[in-house]
Amino acid sequence: MLTTRGTRGLQLLMLLLLLVALLLQGAVTVVGALKAGFYDKTCPGAEAMVQKVVNDAFDKDYTVAPGLLRLFFHDCFVRGCDASVLIDSTAGNHAEKDADHNKALHGFEVVDAAKADIEAACPGVVSCADILAFAARESVALAGNFFYAVPGGRRDGVISREVEVEFNLPASNFNAAQLIERFVAKNLTADDLVTLTGGHSLGVAHCTAITDRLYAYSRTSDTDPTLGPAYAALLRKSCPVNHTTAAVAATNSSAVWLDLLTPEKLDNQFYATVQMGFAVLGSDQALMADPDLKAAVAAYASDAKLWVAKFSRAMVKLGNMVELTEEEGEIRMQCRVVNGGNNRLVASN
């Protein structure tokens, strides 16, 4: 029979083994320092300053909202939410923002403006990673008319590698199994996948993202068979062959709405679009190929309140993907440049 001391020892051993197993998954979230109202004492106006900058930018350009949402997602999925997507490349280091997946990202200047205002009021206190998380929340509030509290306390990373993007972000031509695998690798569930895909209710897809669906789907079919003939013809009209090159996409001139029903509003109508077979991205339409994902799509399409509640929770969960501890990383003075200059990034290649 185990003694009390032996029982406690066994419990500690089991806890240690569990921790090791989590570490081996490669996506541990270190969230001990994250909490809502993190800057209430050190920089009490931080979140309000981000809100003002985002509101002003949104008033001039609606696309700021989907832009900031995607910046946040693309940041968190590579090295955790550490603002590494904001770092500029140098001659010796190709940063994340130069990856093909990220070339159409925008909203960087909004983060820069918020950072400048905050630095003027509270130098060296608020991380770029937190500013991006707050900015994404404000985008949701503006385009979706709902709000959620964002825990703060993230640190800014000092590594940004273009080559890491492709192997971490889901691609627009992924099937259901590939999508689930990529999300699970980040400690997100299949339900989180469907929930967060609702962010595609906003904004556009550039023609380069759907080239394969329209013109080179497989050996037996040029066009993705899940696209109805009429819808495929409509998409081809918006994205002719000569408008599916990277050079054209870089001009942001060739794109199609992601949501046919309410393209400028963050809402659950996107899921009705998917149900009808009108998803623009192959990865979005792939949600209908898996029974569980399909059921979640149906649930969200029929219940706006359910999706809002779960999207809010999923955004917080996404934001909790933090791989830097309190002792690691830094508070960048400028979001595009690591402290000491981006020449420090050379060693990260």
Place of tokens 């309190």: 326
Answer yes or no: do 193 and 303 share one domain: yes
pLDDT digits 0-9 by tens, 41-57 = 999 999 999 999 999 99
- Does residue 7 have a pLDDT over 80? no
pLDDT score, position 277? 94
Q: For the CA atoms of 74, 170, 176, 252, what is the dihedral angle to 10 degrees? A: 80
Residue 82 assigned ligand-binding role: yes
Residues 6 or more apart in contact with residue 158 via CB below 8 angstroms: 329, 330, 338, 339, 344, 345, 348
Confidence of residue 328 (pLDDT cuts 50, 70, 90): confident
pLDDT score, position 20? 41
From 74, 106, 206, 243, the catalytic residue: 74
The answer to whether position 223 is within a domain reads yes
Answer yes or no: do 212 and 276 share one domain: yes
The answer to whether position 262 is within a domain reads yes
Q: Poorest-confidence range of 73-82, 174-183, 246-255?
A: 246-255
Residue 59 assigned ligand-binding role: no
The answer to whether position 309 is within a domain reads yes
Say what the pTM is: 0.87
The answer to whether position 21 is within a domain reads no
The answer to whether position 163 is within a domain reads yes
The answer to whether position 22 is within a domain reads no
Mean pLDDT over 17-31 rounds to 42
Residue 251's CATH number: 1.10.420.10
Closest residue by Cα to residue 75 from 160, 151, 172: 160
Place of tokens 């109202």: 37
pLDDT score, position 31? 45
Percent of the chain with pLDDT over 70: 85
Residue 116's CATH number: 1.10.520.10
Residue 156 assigned ligand-binding role: no
Residue 290 assigned ligand-binding role: no
- Number of structural domains the chain divides into: 2
pLDDT score, position 202? 96
Q: Are strands 255-257 and 204-206 parallel, antiparallel or unpaired?
A: antiparallel
pLDDT digits 0-9 by tens, 235-278 = 999 998 875 555 444 444 588 999 989 999 999 999 999 999 99
Asked about 74 being catalytic, the answer comes back as yes
pLDDT score, position 77? 98
Answer yes or no: do 80 and 193 share one domain: no
Answer yes or no: do 307 and 203 share one domain: yes
In whole angstroms, give the CA distance from residue 320 to residue 345.
25
Residue 70, domain extent: 46-168+319-348
pLDDT score, position 220? 86
Confidence of residue 204 (pLDDT cuts 50, 70, 90): very high
